[in-house]
Each structure stands twice: as C-alpha cells, then as structure tokens.
Amino acid sequence: MEPGGVVRHRRIESLNPDVSHRPRLGVKIDAAGYASLVGTECEPTAATLFGLGRQDNKGRTTYAIVSEEYGVVQWSPSKKEIYVEFLGDAPIDTTFSLVDRGAV
C-alpha cells in the first residue's frame, strides 16, 4: 500500500473472548443515532467492511480505520470508548498500530 493509500473492504476480527460468539467487528447505530463498534456476525455488510488508510505518526506506521458507510473509527479518551463518526473536513485524530501475531 502506498503512503496515504487506502485498502478497502477488509473485515476486522476481534480476539476479545467476551465477544467470541460474534468474532467480527461492525458498526451498530443506537436509537439516538450514536454509532459504536461492536462484535457482530461474519457476514460482509456495509457495517462490517472497513478501509485502512496508512498515516505516518511519530515515525511509526499507523492506520485510520474507515467505514465508507458510517465514518471513521475513533477513540474518546474522556469516555474511554470507541465510536464511529463522519468527520467532514476535520483531520483524523485516531489512528491505530496493527500487530501481526500470525495464525491464531
């Protein structure tokens, strides 16, 4: 992947044992319209497909996780939760470092 490029249509697998019955991550919209990231079924849908956009942050390779349908996956330090939101023209604040642990 080129710097600034986006890998599209990837599903994210959760290794959290609390959601092992729902092994993929997906966007869930609640009644108030708040979008969060939750464990879900493995079906490829707009809620479970993400793009990974590479960004250079302090010499490390980090990735922004983006759902074309729902927005950017972000972290709220004050609420200590992950949420999903369209940013408009705002820059992406939350990026993630990925670790390849091999076969699990």
Tens digits of residue pLDDT in 41-87: 878 888 888 887 776 666 667 888 888 889 999 988 998 888 999 98
Query: 13 to each of 1, 33, 39, 65, how far by Cα in Å?
Result: 20, 24, 9, 13
Asked whether the beta carbons of 24 and 14 are under 8 A apart, the reply is yes
| Domain residue ranges in the chain | 6-85
Give 4's pLDDT tier (boundaries 50, 70, 90). Answer: very low
**Alpha carbon 50 to its chain's center:** 7
Residue that the structure tokens 């290794």 belong to:
15
**pLDDT of amino acid 1:** 32
Q: What are phi and psi of 94, to 5 degrees?
A: -100, 120
The pTM of this model reads 0.70
**pLDDT of amino acid 12:** 81
Rounded distance, CA 35 to CA 12, Å? 17
**pLDDT of amino acid 31:** 92
Tens digits of residue pLDDT in 9-35: 788 877 776 766 767 888 999 999 889
Asked whether the beta carbons of 3 and 54 are under 8 A apart, the reply is yes
Q: Is the pLDDT of residue 100 over 80?
A: no
**pLDDT of amino acid 56:** 66
Rounded distance, CA 37 to CA 26, Å? 6
